[in-house]
Structure 1
Amino acid sequence: MPVFTHTHQQSDTADAPEASASPSRPTLRERLAHLRTWRDRHPTAARVLRWTINILAAVLILGAMLLPNAVGALKPNRFTRIPAEAIVGAVVMLWLPRRPRVVLAVVSGVGLGVLTMLNLLDMGFREYLGRGFNMVLDWGLLDDAQAYVEDSMGRTVALGASVGAVVLVLALLVLMALATVRLSDLLADNRSAASRGTLIAGTVWITCSAVGLQVSGMPVASDRAAGALAMQARRVKDTLRDEAAFAKVAKVDTFGNTPGDQLVPDLRGKDVIFTFIESYGRSALEDPDIAPGVDKTLDVSTKALTEAGFHAKSGWLTSATYGGSSWLGHSTTMSGLWVDNQQRYQTVMNSDHLSLTKAFQKTGDWDTVGVMPGVQKAWPEQKFYGLDKVYNAFQLGYQGPKFSWSTMPDQYALEAFQQQVHGKKRDKPLMSEIILTSSHQPWAPIPKMVGWDELGDGSVFDAIQKAGNKPSDIVADSTRSKEEYGKSVQYSVTALTQWLERYGSDDTVLVFLGDHQPIARVSGNNASRDVPISIVAKDPKVLDKISSWNWTEGLKPAHNAPVWKMSSFRDRFLTAYGSTPHPSTN
């Protein structure tokens, strides 16, 4: 037994290496040798593959150089041009030795990848915000975009989109670098023919540029990539200049030193409510595909309010923002400053500039409250706006479902405002700022009006939310987006005006307006930035104070009603209601 056991152990030991052995992976040299063998065996297929890769690399590089920065410009004639950058790049690559040539090719490829990303970001920002991407200010908005996708379409979709974006960026940079290196090698391997071709291309470019030759309405000679880089550089330069200039402007305030007893004396004793309706723009009232339903709602609401004893006047304001970034519209209206980017917003929020709402707090004669159903985290802006108390998304008692990005239906938010704030007995009148969110994109699902006595904790909206459209069914369809946008505005206006009809008093003054136009896919390319604004009250003296404004009677401003910059509203309002200017300059 001991001998048998010993022999068995030796056998196991001897066999172990053979049993555990696994095929070693081929080295890079072996793989290259295998590839050469395949090319030798299949020369035609190898040649076709090589030229296919070369052509794809050229298409990728030329496409990056000619890519426009607006979706509407993505047309074939934009890619039938001769880029000067390609000619200059070929000359440099032909002149350089191999090692610096490869380094420059990699750097150039990565640079083209970055330029492509900036052009794509420009497309997205123009489509949604009506302006290009700002490399200094707008990186933070990408986090907001991710949060918006998560709120609208769920965490899974948002995570998938984020991962996809990262993969796309990395793939773009790598592929662009590899393509540039490949083309530089191709030029070097065929130096004589490449030199002749580059000379011919340069001559053709200069000739076409000199005579202004065009194909399908576009110049054949292109310097699109250099122009795009210059444009981005100008944006950075202008942004840095604007920061210092705007900081000085923000220190000048017509009413900065006005004593509290000289602010809005003609509104003493009134409950004043400032309400912003999300994405409520001129397109809602004038676009032929949207306006009929909205116009009918405004007419019906005007009639109902008139029967309840209210009267209204309406005009237009040109918003500082478009398609999104609602806080820029809010701060522009309330500060009297043109706040059209995040840098200006931060400057204003950190300043002592007098906001319109804070003017009421400064008097000491009003309680000031904010109702912000879209706020779901700390909101330090409360101080700038002069609000004694702010009710955010978690403080209004809502237990119903979200409607895409909107945390609760406007009707519920208004009823919660009534029950928790407006309807309470108090020693002072109330000044309120309310942000209504049901008309926020993607306009699916949209809440519907229910009986005001049926609202409860909001659970009544469960069935309505489940029966509504899914964001994915709406977001990529311009026609349906327009239809649903119009319905959402009708809902918001109806909820607000019904609330006023139901709970308003002789001392109620309602100012409501849009914060910005909806995105270009809904409002159309080159749409104005105008939004409607209305002032509603029972006391005729309130509207008499603004008779010189020449606003339109009712809730619908006429097409030719006065149009002011949104930043002018604060001073006009304060002046109309008796405030005395006492400027501050620092």
Structure 2
Amino acid sequence: MRRWWLTLLLVNVTLIATALPRTGVTAMPWLAVDGLMLIAALSLWPGHRHARRGLGYAAGALIAIVVLGTVGNTVTQEIRGRLFNPYLDPAQLPIFLELLRDNLGLATSLVLVAVAIVGLLAIGGGLGHLLATLPRPRRPSARLTLVGVLVVSAGLVLLGPTRHTTWLGTPGVGLLADQVTRAYATHAAVRDFDAQLTRSETPLDAPEGHPLPGLAGRDVILAFVESYGMAALERAPFAAPVNQRLDTMAETFERAGLSVASGRLVSPTLGGQSRLAHASVLSGLWIDSTLRYDLLLESPRATLVDDFERSGHTSVAMMPAIYRDWPAGRRLGYDTIHDDPRLDYRGPRLGWVTIPDQFVWHRLRQLRDAHAEPVFAELALISSHAPWTPVIEPLPWDAIGDGEGFSRWEDAGSDFLEKWGDNAGMRQRYGPSLAYSLAVAAEYAVHDVDADSLLILLGDHQAAPGMLGFTPDREVPVHVVSGDPDLIAPFLEHGFVRGTQPLRDTPARSMADLRDLLHRLYGGDAS
């Protein structure tokens, strides 16, 4: 009986621990009914000894999977503000491991991965061994008791009264059921999305793209500011420096004769995966997963890149965070791609960010001067990327050179690996970091945005929930700037307001609607 009670204790503690991230300490059950049912069933199993051992180890492996699912839920909730999705997220493992290596170093990453693997094997193997070697009760009264336990616990699991009882729970069954349901629903949603990609119901679905005659002959810049979410305008301590910068921008634009309007967009992602936001804006489709992103790239679906090229624009991608081959960029069809190597930055690498925003704007200015035809440029700006170190200041534009002007901050961000776990420090640096990104964007606009250009400056997603505190929504600001007030006026008729401060009490527009909106305003309503 000692082994039986020891097995029950360890299985119960393990399963209860998996419920902790979902229910919290105060609501955590102290008896896992599904674990009790499992132990009773294996104790009564009448089969051959080898069959019972196999079932025991299989049950241990299943408990390890529940633990792995709990870890997945915790990590994705902290980073993405949602639960782990077994249909989508396993494909993200290589990217997650790469980020782990880049942020913590290879040695530390290998140790963490090894500890995680050994821990899971220990849980699965240890509990599997205990379950596989459970003694079968000899006395009829003991067997009858176990039958009663099995029937009662099975009834509790199947009928669901544990949902209304705080001290009883079914954490293992509940997690597995949630994951299976989520995976099935995601599969159905992806199937519908795949069918949507093959339909051709509007001109925007055409694989050759649809022109934007209202923007022909004008430069259009689509600039994504990393981690620029509405929480940055609304929550302390970062709201103060960000709102101060936005108010200064509005005054600066007015003095420079620039018109600006602002609104809010709902991003498909939270805390990361910026490419999903970029793809949603470019395609006019809701791209909220890597799988949808891949399906888009495999489809003939046109994007804003095609639309502007049909309008006579040279298409340019400015991607300072991309330092490897980028097949997605080739598929999207940019005329030129200025990634990390092609930006030819010769200044110091500023921690994780590597290339400051002002240098990217500097290169864009040089590129526009070199092209006689209008340019459609998409920028992925990264100075405001976590862990927000170092926070630098704008330079005089003639002091930038090929990046040598940033030498004063050399090694200032070299400790960025230590900063990732310091949430309090990141909260203090987040606002000033965004203020810098907005400041250099505004300076570029004042000097280079005129009546023949349109700047669309927007956030890609909110910062990670683990840093912001309680889980935010997915809304991000968007600002449109031009020297021609007639280019900005149509936005005011579609929910935008004058100035740099978006309204907070109106419905936000989906990022996937921005392409259609541009066509409504400048393309003769292609939808």
Q: What TM-score, normalized by structure 2, do the two folds share?
A: 0.90
Q: 1:70 to 1:321 in 2, by over 3 A?
A: farther
Q: Distance in 1 between matches of 2:377 and 2:470?
A: 35
Are 2:438 and 1:493 aligned?
yes
Shift of 1:449: 2.2
Paired residue for 2:348? 401
SS of 1:449's equivalent in the other structure is coil
Paired residue for 2:239? 291
Shift of 1:580: 4.4
Instruction: Give the aligned residue type for 1:89.
Output: I
RMSD: 2.9
Identify the match of residue 335 of structure 2 among 363, 366, 388. 388
Paired residue for 2:306? 358
Bigger Cα displacement from structure 2, 572-581 vs 405-414: 572-581
Native 8 Å contact 1:71 1:127 kept in 2: no
Native 8 Å contact 1:90 1:187 kept in 2: no
Native 8 Å contact 1:274 1:434 kept in 2: yes
Note the alpha carbon deviations across 1:236-270, whole angstroms, 9 max, x for none. 32233233211111234522377999722122221
Q: 1:200 to 1:260 in 2, by over 3 A?
A: closer
Paired residue for 2:383? 438
Shift of 1:579: 3.1
Matches within 5 A, 1:167-566: 167-183=115-131, 185-188=133-136, 195=143, 198=146, 201=149, 219-252=166-199, 254-256=202-204, 263-363=211-311, 365-419=312-366, 421-424=367-370, 426-468=371-413, 470-566=415-511
Bigger Cα displacement from structure 2, 313-322 vs 395-404: 395-404
Native 8 Å contact 2:42 2:131 kept in 1: no
Paired residue for 2:89? 138
Identity percentage of aligned residues: 27
Q: Distance in 1 between matches of 2:75 and 2:180?
A: 19
Q: 1:184 to 1:151 in 2, by over 3 A?
A: closer
Instruction: Give the aligned residue type for 1:451.
Output: P
Q: Distance in 2 between matches of 1:275 and 1:530?
A: 16
Native 8 Å contact 1:77 1:218 kept in 2: no
Q: 1:67 to 1:408 in 2, by over 3 A?
A: same
Paired residue for 2:65? 114
Matches within 5 A, 1:63-82: 63-68=13-18, 71=21, 73-75=23-25, 77-82=27-32
Alignment: residue pair count = 524
Shift of 1:192: 6.6
Q: 1:358 to 1:116 in 2, by over 3 A?
A: same
Shift of 1:531: 0.7
Q: Distance in 1 between matches of 2:207 and 2:185?
A: 37
Shift of 1:302: 1.4
Shift of 1:197: 6.0
Q: Distance in 2 between matches of 1:211 and 1:129?
A: 30
Shift of 1:131: 2.0
SS of 2:133's equivalent in the other structure is helix
Q: 1:105 to 1:291 in 2, by over 3 A?
A: same
Bigger Cα displacement from structure 2, 253-262 vs 120-129: 253-262
Q: 1:433 to 1:487 in 2, by over 3 A?
A: same
Shift of 1:529: 0.6
Q: Distance in 1 between matches of 2:199 and 2:419?
A: 45
SS of 1:466's equivalent in the other structure is coil
Shift of 1:107: 1.2
Instruction: Give the aligned residue type for 1:569.
Output: L
Shift of 1:496: 0.9
Q: 1:260 to 1:99 in 2, by over 3 A?
A: closer
Native 8 Å contact 2:87 2:186 kept in 1: yes
Q: 1:132 to 1:367 in 2, by over 3 A?
A: same
Native 8 Å contact 2:350 2:356 kept in 1: yes
Q: Distance in 1 between matches of 2:22 and 2:403?
A: 42
Shift of 1:516: 0.9
Note the alpha carbon deviations across 1:114-145, whole angstroms, 9 max, x for none. 22112101110111012222323322322212
Instruction: Give the aligned residue type for 2:16.
Output: L
Q: Distance in 1 between matches of 2:247 and 2:51?
A: 71
Note the alpha carbon deviations across 1:429-474, whole angstroms, 9 max, x for none. 1111111011122223333322222222223334424234733443
Native 8 Å contact 2:227 2:461 kept in 1: yes
Paired residue for 1:124? 75
Q: 1:113 to 1:538 in 2, by over 3 A?
A: same
Bigger Cα displacement from structure 2, 318-327 vs 160-169: 160-169
Q: Distance in 2 between matches of 1:55 and 1:573?
A: 67
Are 2:49 and 1:92 aligned?
no
Q: Distance in 2 between matches of 1:435 and 1:444?
A: 18
Native 8 Å contact 1:114 1:173 kept in 2: no
Bigger Cα displacement from structure 2, 54-63 vs 312-321: 54-63
Q: 1:532 to 1:544 in 2, by over 3 A?
A: same
SS of 1:545's equivalent in the other structure is helix
Shift of 1:295: 0.4
Structure 2 gaps of 5+ residues are none
Native 8 Å contact 1:153 1:404 kept in 2: no
Q: Distance in 2 between matches of 1:410 and 1:126?
A: 29
Shift of 1:220: 2.9
Q: Distance in 2 between matches of 1:397 and 1:211?
A: 62
Native 8 Å contact 1:263 1:579 kept in 2: no
SS of 1:390's equivalent in the other structure is strand
SS of 1:314's equivalent in the other structure is strand
Shift of 1:422: 1.8
Q: 1:70 to 1:483 in 2, by over 3 A?
A: farther
Shift of 1:567: 0.9
Q: Distance in 2 between matches of 1:103 and 1:262?
A: 61
Note the alpha carbon deviations across 1:138-167, whole angstroms, 9 max, x for none. 2232221222233334333xxx22343234
Larger radius of gyration: 1
Native 8 Å contact 1:276 1:436 kept in 2: yes
Q: 1:508 to 1:220 in 2, by over 3 A?
A: same
Q: 1:382 to 1:362 in 2, by over 3 A?
A: farther
Paired residue for 1:9? none
Q: 1:81 to 1:549 in 2, by over 3 A?
A: same
Instruction: Give the aligned residue type for 1:135.
Output: P
Native 8 Å contact 1:281 1:532 kept in 2: yes
Instruction: Give the aligned residue type for 2:40.
Output: A
Q: Distance in 1 between matches of 2:331 and 2:383?
A: 25
Paired residue for 1:26? none
Q: Distance in 1 between matches of 2:5 and 2:416?
A: 40
Q: Distance in 1 between matches of 2:127 and 2:269?
A: 39
Structure 1 gaps of 5+ residues are 1-49
SS of 2:268's equivalent in the other structure is coil
Q: Distance in 2 between matches of 1:479 and 1:353?
A: 43
Shift of 1:348: 0.9
